[in-house]
Amino acid sequence: MKQWIIFTDLDGTLLDSENYAFTSALPALRSLSDLNIPLILCSSKTRTEIEFYREQIGNSHPFISENGGGIFIPKGYFGFMVEIPHHTIQVEDQYEVIVLGAVYSEIRKAVAALRHEGFPIKGFGDMSTEAVAGLTGLSSREAAMAKERHFDEPFIFEGEEADIPQLLAAILSKGFRYTQGAFYHILGDSDKGKALTILEDLYRKAFGEIVTIGLGDSPNDIPMLERVDYPVIVQKPSGEYDHRIHIPNLMKTEGAGPEGWNNAILSLVQKIQRE
């Protein structure tokens, strides 16, 4: 029997892009729990932010933080020793952690260098908790968690839009990469797709044949959506879908944010139950 696995973005997908609520997704979340389908949170958010939402929705599965920078697997989750070629497993009190992302202090050095070169950028590390809260709409508590970064740096660019290509080229020239969700991010050689592939292999070892679903709404979700069997793009509050996401067999949700997420999952659950 096939084991279904679901990977999902948070902001603008499972969470409302304005108030970060997920109430509209509760029916689908209950269905996944009833069917014992693992739900993997795969976000640009930090570990502490994701843990905050995992607790709220009662999620006990592995999760992927900071655009694929870190994979956190609850200790004993798979029932076998987690071994990943070419990667060190860090064992903590709660998790086995696979680090894929860059060292945050090195990213911060790159931000400072870019600013020295004349690019007016400001990362979360340059902002106070209050400033991050004002920029994102997060509470002070959540904004503080958003600043607890380890693998990537969200930033804003305060220059001319015409200068953005030059900025992005400068990021690449320093050995880093960039992606975009609600904000631009500077990161190392990691992305959601690479992290997803590692977890896929572990689930395959645990269950045999698996089928994967991925849900997202922004360009930083593309590497994840490209690797799953059923890619789903979630509608924006404007009613549009991100025009930069072009993937074969892409499903589009009816409804924005958690409402659309809920509708897509319930539709796919019907398919799962028929198989």
Q: Rounded to an integer, what distance in angstroms lies between the CA atom of residue 217 and that of residue 257?
A: 9
Sheet containing 210-216, strands listed edge to edge, beginning at the edge strand earlier in sequence: 89-91, 95-99, 70-74, 63-65, 39-42, 3-8, 210-216, 230-235, 251-256
Q: Rounded to an integer, what distance in angstroms lies between the CA atom of residue 191 and that of residue 188?
A: 8
Token code pair at residue 61: 């599965």
Q: Rounded to an integer, what distance in angstroms lies between the CA atom of residue 89 and that of residue 82?
A: 8
Q: Which of 9, 16, 221, 242 is catalytic?
A: 9
- With a CB cutoff of 8 Å and minimum separation 6, the contacts of 220 are 9, 44, 67, 179, 180, 181, 185, 191, 192
* 16 catalytic per annotation: no
Q: Rounded to an integer, what distance in angstroms lies between the CA atom of residue 260 and that of residue 11?
A: 13
Catalytic residues: 9
